[in-house]
Chains A and B, each alone.
Chain A
C-alpha cells in the first residue's frame, strides 16, 4: 500500500546526515584525536594524556571553571525576577501589553551591542557611577569593569538583565495557559495577591521553572562567550578576571596556537554538556506536558 520505496526515507534524511556529520561528527571525532596530540599547525605527534595533564595542572583553567560556576549564582536571581514580573503582567493591569513589549526588549538586543553600551555605562567615571554619587551612594560607585574583583559581577548583572527577559516571557506564556477560574475563585474567597501567587500560580509553574533553570545552566556553562568577549576587552580581563572555559579554549586555539590544548579542554566541556542533555530532555518533556494540559 505504501508506494514509497525503501530507499526514499534515506534520500530525505541524507542531507541532514551529511551536514551533521560535517559540522558535528567530524569535529567531535577530531577533538578527541587532537586532545592526545601535540598539534602545531594542522597535526602533530601523539603525546598521550600530556595535554590533559597540562590543562588540569594550569591555574588558569581552574580559574575559568570557577568563573563559569560563579555565573550559576545568577540563575536564582533570574528566576525570582522573572517570576515576579511575569506575575505582575499576568494580573493584566492597564497597559500590560505595552509593558510586555518593553520588558522583552533586552532579549531582542544582540549581546555584543548591549555589552558595548553597558561597558560605557559602567565606566569608572561613567553615568552609572555618576548617578550613584548623586544619590550619595559613593561606596557603591565601584570600578565595575576595571577591577578584577568586580568585573565578573558586572558581567553577571548584564546576563541577569538580558536573560531574565526570556524567563518573563516563558513564565508568562505558561501562566496564560492556567485555568483562570481557579484564580478567580480564590480572588472571590478573599485570597490576596501574595496568596494567589504562592499557592495557586507557583505550584503549577514547576515544569517551566525547571526548564528555564536547565536552559540557563547550559547558557552559563557554555554560552557566555559574547558577554565576556566585549566586557573583558577581548581577553577576559581585567587580568584574567572574566576568563571562562569557552574563552580558555578560544585563547588556546587562536592566541597561543595550541590546538591540542584547546581540544583537551573542549573534550571536557563536551562531556559536561553531554551530562546536561538528560536533565534538559526531561525538563523539556515535563514543560511540554504542562503545556499540553492547557
Chain B
C-alpha cells in the first residue's frame, strides 16, 4: 500500500545522504526465516548505512553483544523501507523492531495500527534521553526511540567573513544583522547567501528553518494544512517574503537556480559562498575541506513565534511493531542500544553522534562539532516541520515556491496564496487523511 513513501524515500535519501556517496552496499535482503527454538529470536529491519556509513558495524556489534535474545538484523533497501514494513504488517509478518523516519513517515503506520506505543514498554528516562522528538507523539503516546540525530543548521565561511570585515565568531543573529552582513559581503565582492535549489530540497530546508519562526508549536503548522489557519495570513508566509527580500537585494548566489542541493552546500567550505543551509552529518567533512574555517549558526531571527531562533534537530528512530511476539523483550533491546557502552560503540563505528542526551561528548575531538552538538542536541531544540507536511503539499507548494521566489518569478505573498490553495486542494483530495491530522494537532500542540 501507500507506496508513495517508497518514493519519498528517494528524496530522503538524497536529502540526508551526503556522506553515503555510492554506497552500493544495500543489495537485496533476506526475509525473516523461521526462528530457532531455545532462545527468543527477534527480527530487526533497519536502514541508514546508506546515509551514515559504519552503521552496519554498529548493528553487528550490538547484535553480537546482546545476550538476552537472538536478533536477526536485515538492512532494508532505501526505496522500500516503509512499503516493505507496511505490507508485512498488513499480513501480520512485520519484524519485531523496525527502523522509522520521523513524522508522517511513520505516523501513517501508527494510524494503520502497525506500531506499538512505547510509553508502557520503554523506561521513560531512556525514551526521553533518546530524543524521539515531538513528531513521534500521537494520542498521548510515543512511537519511536531515537537512534541517531540529524541536526539542521546554517553554515558560514569564516575566511569570507573576515574578508568582508565581519566578525568570524559572531554570525548574524537577527534579520537586520543578516542584511547588514550580506551587504558587507556583497560590497566585498563575495556572494553572501544561498546554495542550490534546482532539485528542490533547498526549498524544503528553508521552510524547516523559517516557517517555525512565526509558530508557537509545530501543531500550528498542521493547522495550516487542515485549514484552521491560513497561509494567506501575513505571518504564515512572512518567511517567503523574507526569501523574496534576499532575492531582490541580490544576496543570493547567481547560479542558485541551476545548482542542486549538495553542490550548492559545497560552495561554502570551498570559499565561494559565505552562508548556506546544511546538515550536521556533513559538518566533519566540510570542516576538513575548509581547514576548520566553517562556522555553524541558526537562521537569523525575523519572526515573533515561540519557536523562533531555536536549533532544529531531526532524529531517525526505531519502533516496535504490533506483530512483535514479545514487545517487552523488544523494548529491552532498544534500551540496550541506549546503554553507555553501546553509545560509545556507535561513535567509534560511525564517527557520528548517537541520539542520546547522556552520550559522553568528551570523545568528540573537533571543537566545532562538539559545540554544535551541545547546542543542537543537548540544548532546547525543535523538530523538522516539513516532516508533518502532506506529500501533495510538498510537491505542489513547498518545493515550487522556493524555486520560483529564488528565480524572481514569485513574491512571498503569491507563495502564501499558492500554499493556501494547495492546502485546500489537499483537503479536498484526501478527506480521510485530514481526520487523522486533526487528531495529531492535539499532540503536536502540547509540546
Touch test A–B (CB under 8 Å) = yes
Chain A interface residues toward B at CB < 8 A: 38, 40-42, 54, 58-60, 122-126, 143-149, 233-235, 237-240, 251, 254-258, 261
What chain A residues lie within 8 Å of B432 (beta carbons)? 38, 40
List B residues at the A interface (Cβ < 8 Å): 1-4, 6-8, 10, 197-200, 254-260, 390-392, 395-396, 399-400, 403-404, 407, 409, 421, 425, 428-430, 432
In the bound assembly, the distance between CA atoms of A237 and B398 in angstroms comes to 12
Contact A261 B404 (CB under 8 A): no
Residues of B within 8 A of A251 (CB): 395
B residues near A235, Cβ cutoff 8 Å: 199-200, 395, 399
Query: Given contacts A233-B260, A239-B400, A257-B2, is CB(A148)–CB(B407) below 8 Å?
Result: yes
Contact indicator A124/B254 (Cβ below 8 Å): yes
Query: In the complex, what residues of A have CB within 8 A of residue B425's CB?
Result: 58
CB–CB B258/A145 < 8 A: yes
The interface centre, meaning the residue of A38, A145, A238, A240 with most chain B CB atoms within 10 A of its CB, is: A238
The answer to whether B258 and A237 touch across the interface, beta carbons within 8 angstroms, is no
Q: Judging by beta carbons under 8 Å apart, are B3 and A238 in contact?
A: no
Whether A237 and B259, one on each chain, are in contact in the complex, defined by CB atoms closer than 8 angstroms, is no
Given contacts A148-B407, A238-B200, 17 further A-B contacts (CB under 8 A): A40-B2, A122-B258, A123-B259, A124-B258, A143-B255, A143-B257, A143-B407, A146-B198, A148-B403, A235-B399, A237-B199, A238-B257, A239-B399, A254-B7, A255-B391, A256-B392, A257-B391
CA distance A255 to B400 in the complex (A): 15
Known: A143-B407, A237-B403, A261-B429. A256 touches B258 (CB 8 A): no
Query: Whose C-beta in chain B lies nearest to the C-beta of A146?
Result: B257
Closest to A51 in B: B429
Considering the complex, give the chain B residue whose CB is closest to the CB of A254.
Answer: B7
Neighbouring A residues of B396 by C-beta, 8 Å = 60, 240
Q: How far is the CA of A143 from the CA of B198 in the complex (A)?
A: 11
A26 to B406, alpha carbons, bound, how many Å? 45
Considering the complex, give the chain B residue whose CB is closest to the CB of A238.
Answer: B403
Bound complex: CA A258 to CA B2 (Å): 9
Q: Is the CB of A146 within 8 A of B255?
A: yes
Question: Which residues in B have their C-beta under 8 angstroms from that of A38?
Answer: 432
Contact B4 A255 (CB under 8 A): yes
Chain B contacts of A258 at CB under 8 A?
Answer: 392, 429-430
Q: Which residue of B lies closest to A59 (CB)?
A: B421
Taking a contact as CB atoms under 8 Å apart, the answer to whether A238 and B407 are in contact is yes
Closest CB-CB distance, B196 to chain A, in whole Å? 9
- Contact partner of B200 among A145, A233, A255, CB < 8 A? A233
Closest chain B residue to A147, Cβ basis: B407
List A contacts of B200 (CB < 8 A): 233, 235, 237-238
Q: Which residues of chain B come closer than 8 Å to A147, judged between CB atoms?
A: 257, 407, 409
Complex interface: chain B residues within 8 A of A233 (CB): 198-200, 260
Identify which of B3, B7, B409 contacts A149 (C-beta below 8 A). Answer: B409
A sample of 28 inter-chain contacts (CB < 8 A) reads A54-B428, A59-B421, A123-B255, A123-B258, A124-B258, A125-B255, A125-B258, A126-B258, A143-B257, A146-B198, A146-B259, A146-B407, A147-B407, A234-B10, A235-B200, A237-B198, A237-B399, A237-B403, A238-B197, A238-B198, A239-B404, A240-B396, A240-B400, A256-B4, A256-B391, A257-B2, A258-B430, A261-B429
Q: Which residues of B contact A261 (CB under 8 A)?
A: 429
CA distance A240 to B407 in the complex (A): 13
Complex contacts, B199 vs chain A, CB 8 Å? 233-235, 237
Question: How near does chain A come to B301, taking the closest CB pair, in angstroms?
Answer: 28
Chain B residues closer than 8 Å to A143, beta-carbon distance? 255, 257-258, 407
Give the CA-CA distance A58 to B403 in the complex, in Å: 20
In the assembly, what is the distance between CA of A254 and CA of B432, in Å?
Answer: 18
Chain B minimum-CB-distance residue to A50: B428
A44 CB, min distance to chain B CBs, angstroms: 9
Q: How far is the CB of B281 from chain A (nearest CB, A)?
A: 22
From residue B436, how far is it (CB to closest CB) to chain A in Å? 12
- Assess whether A255 is in contact with B428, with CB atoms less than 8 Å apart: no
Chain A residues whose CB sits within 8 angstroms of the CB of B8 once the complex forms: 255
Q: How far is the CB of A276 from chain B (nearest CB, A)?
A: 29
Inter-subunit contact A54/B429 (CB<8 Å): yes
**Closest CB in chain B relative to A119 CB, distance in Å:** 9
Return the 6 tightest CB-CB contacts between A and B, nearest first. Answer: A146-B257, A146-B258, A41-B1, A239-B400, A124-B258, A257-B4
Contact A255-B254, Cβ < 8 Å, known A40-B432, A148-B404: no
Closest chain B CB from A150 CB (angstroms): 10
> How far is it, in angstroms, between the C-alpha of A211 and the C-alpha of B392 when the chains are bound?
39
Q: Residues of A contacting B257 with CB < 8 Å?
A: 124, 143, 146-147, 238
Most chain B CB atoms below 10 A, which of A42, A240, A261 = A240
Give the CA-CA distance A244 to B390 in the complex, in Å.
22
CA distance A204 to B254 in the complex (A): 51
| Residue in B6, B198, B395, B407 whose CB lies within 8 Å of A256 | B395
In this complex, the member of B1, B2, B10, B258 whose beta carbon has the largest number of chain A beta carbons within 10 angstroms is B258
What separation, in Å, do the CA atoms of A149 and B409 have in the docked complex? 9
Q: Which residues of A contact B7 (CB under 8 A)?
A: 254-255
